[in-house]
Amino acid sequence: MRLLESIKELAAQGYTFLKSTHYPDHAFLVSNKVVLMKEGKILTMGSPDEVITKENINILYGIDVSIDMTLHGSNMCIPRFMKGK
């Protein structure tokens, strides 16, 4: 979390970062643009709120998620467990 805080602070000062992650929450916390890739190809790109959707996460990872607003003003991606599996 300290690294993400530092990235966010430096980005606010005008620095640019390229970060690769499999954690959608990290993108919600520090990114202003997101590119989703699958099998080496760009699936979609745009703001985190536009791109990180339950539909796109299902396409990427084959899991069902909820995208919920947290108390801190940032979205969170929460995996949903399937009943009976």
pLDDT, tens digit (0-9, with 9 covering 90-100), for 43-85: 999 999 999 999 999 999 999 998 887 767 778 888 887 665 5
The sign of the torsion formed by the CA atoms of 43, 62, 71, 27 equals negative
Whole-prediction pTM: 0.78
Helices (H), the chain: 2-12, 24-30, 48-51, 54-61
Where do the structural domains in the chain lie, given as residue ranges?
2-79
